[in-house]
Structure 1
Amino acid sequence: MSTITSGSLVMAFPIAAAAGLVSFLSPCVLPLVPGYLSYVTGMSGADLAERKRGRLLLGVALFVLGFTVVFVSAGLAFGGFGALLQRHAAVITKVLGGVTIVLGLAFMGFIPGLQRTFKSSRLPTAGIAGAPFLGALFGLGWTPCIGPTLAAVQAMAYTEASATRGALLSFAYCLGLGVPFLLTAVAYRKALGAFGWVKRHYQAVTRIGGGLLVAIGVLLVTGLWSDLTIQLQGWVSGFKTVI
């Protein structure tokens, strides 16, 4: 419990979840959501709108589980590396912050060519049985596309210097990315209407998302992230539940 309520995670967890949401709303994920839902259930778009939600929700849950395993494993590794490289933590954190700033600018479209997707020509079988494998493939193949937001989360995972905390931050990212998939499965038609609004405001979405990444990078480069973490740890440790 103390790991979850540590000052750094209290601050980083919601940021990581927000980064996941930004990834979901990005131009390289949102337009493909109906296709993913159709593939993981083996149903056409018309069937998705008409049939019961049980099969759709199960397929999407398995899909989300697939990419969650991939991203949490990466967070586990980055957090573990952070613990091993503590001696050089200050320098590496600044480097990761600089990279995050560059990727944030790329996410906003100021550095073209840095958001590419590597798609596998061999897709798993369509339907429920193939859903978790498609999720894992999404986690691996779409990493260059959602890389800016994911890189920011992994940079924060590194600064945690703990495999467990790194995994928790990646899990928060997966919540931000996965919950909208699940909500889409629950309310498919309404979600499609909301997608239309987001598509019409893609520029604003990418500017806000990129701005978030740049802000994280600046905090890492300047050392303010560590200062805020220490301050928040003091607040958390001094908090007492009122009975």
Structure 2
Amino acid sequence: MGTDVTVWLAVGAGIISFLSPCTLPIFPAYLSYITGMSVKEIQEDKSLKVKRKLITHSLFFLLGLGLIFISLGLGASLLGDFLRGLFTGSTGLLLQRIAGVFIIAMGLFIAGWLNFSWLMRDKRLSVKPRRTLGYAGTVFVGMGFAAGWTPCIGPIFASILVLAANEPGKGILYTIAYVIGFAVPFLLFTLFIGQSRVIVRYSGVIMKVGGSLMIMMGLLLYTGQLTRISNILLRLVQDTWFSNLGMIFFN
């Protein structure tokens, strides 16, 4: 499989997970919970002290989230390695095609063109609200959020786990890429919290685009074309890089 392409797809999956209707609308409430500040205070107080508190708690929240996601990615990779050790021959191609079909189905679900009622169950850990959480508590909340199977994040991250199982040894790489994709907009919106209301209006469109990309990825995986596309892109980048390097030294 084309690892370079898949890593960027994993980053994109993380971004879509954050921008999904399951996460972005409740993002201010999560910040309020982990910092002990009101949503109004978070949105209106622009002081450096408040920004520092928001960023610090966000980093610890993402640490907890990342620990769960990366652990799951490692487990999926080990499971895939175990299955490949049991079977040989055409089994690898069969697993690849099963993964492709699964990702296509999840893409149809994310885009809203297919309905799986059992995926709509929310199993996030629930904790009684407290006025203030310490950093350890914030890590725990991040772990609880990651452990939940929410209607949007569950199918998207499940697709990343399937990719990790399909290509043993890459589980941690793909899940780290996913966490980075989730973390970057999380931190940006923490700094510019007022902009989240603008993006929420377009979350439906974002999910349809994300679902369509997942379907395309599933088709490429099923047909075995992901490696070919990755090689083409790699050659394109290398040719461009060497061309620009030559222009710098010889012009």
Stretch of structure 1 that moved more, 126-135 or 23-32: 126-135
Match 1:174 to one of 176, 179, 185: 179
Match 2:56 to one of 46, 55, 58: 58
Structure 1 runs not aligned, ≥5 long = 1-6
1:183-202 aligned at under 5 Å gives the runs 183-188=188-193, 192-193=194-195, 195-202=196-203
The whole-number CA distance in structure 1 between the counterparts of 2:82 and 2:235 is: 25
> In 1, are the aligned partners of 2:125 and 2:147 still within 8 Å (CA)?
no
The whole-number CA distance in structure 2 between the counterparts of 1:78 and 1:235 is: 32
1:123-163, CA deviations, whole angstroms, 9 ceiling, x for partnerless residues?
A: 5854233111000000001455412211222222223221x
Identical amino acids, percent of aligned pairs:
33
Alignment correspondent of 2:159: 152
Question: Could you say if the C-alpha distance between residues 123 and 142 of structure 1 is closer, same or farther in structure 2, counting changes exceeding 3 Å?
Answer: farther
Question: Could you say if the C-alpha distance between residues 57 and 128 of structure 1 is closer, same or farther in structure 2, counting changes exceeding 3 Å?
Answer: farther
1:8-65, CA deviations, whole angstroms, 9 ceiling, x for partnerless residues?
A: 3321111100000001111000101001111111111132231421111110000011
Alignment correspondent of 2:33: 39
Question: Could you say if the C-alpha distance between residues 78 and 237 of structure 1 is closer, same or farther in structure 2, counting changes exceeding 3 Å?
Answer: farther
Alignment correspondent of 1:220: 221
Note the C-alpha offset of 1:69.
0.6
Alignment correspondent of 1:79: 77
1:28 matches 2:22: yes
Aligned partner of 1:184: which letter? F
The whole-number CA distance in structure 1 between the counterparts of 2:63 and 2:18 is: 15
Q: TM-score, normalised by structure 2?
A: 0.81
1:188-224, CA deviations, whole angstroms, 9 ceiling, x for partnerless residues?
A: 3xxx23x223222233111101001111111121222
The whole-number CA distance in structure 2 between the counterparts of 1:184 and 1:237 is: 34
Aligned partner of 1:174: which letter? V
1:100 matches 2:103: yes
> In 2, are the aligned partners of 1:38 and 1:45 still within 8 Å (CA)?
yes
Q: How many residues in Structure 1 have an aligned counterpart in Structure 2?
A: 231
> In 1, are the aligned partners of 2:35 and 2:133 still within 8 Å (CA)?
yes
> In 1, are the aligned partners of 2:22 and 2:150 still within 8 Å (CA)?
no
Question: What is the root-mean-square deviation in Å for CA atoms of aligned residues?
Answer: 2.6
The whole-number CA distance in structure 1 between the counterparts of 2:134 and 2:143 is: 14
Match 2:120 to one of 115, 118, 135: 115
Note the C-alpha offset of 1:240.
9.2
SS, match of residue 180 in structure 2: helix
Aligned partner of 2:68: which letter? V
Note the C-alpha offset of 1:121.
3.4
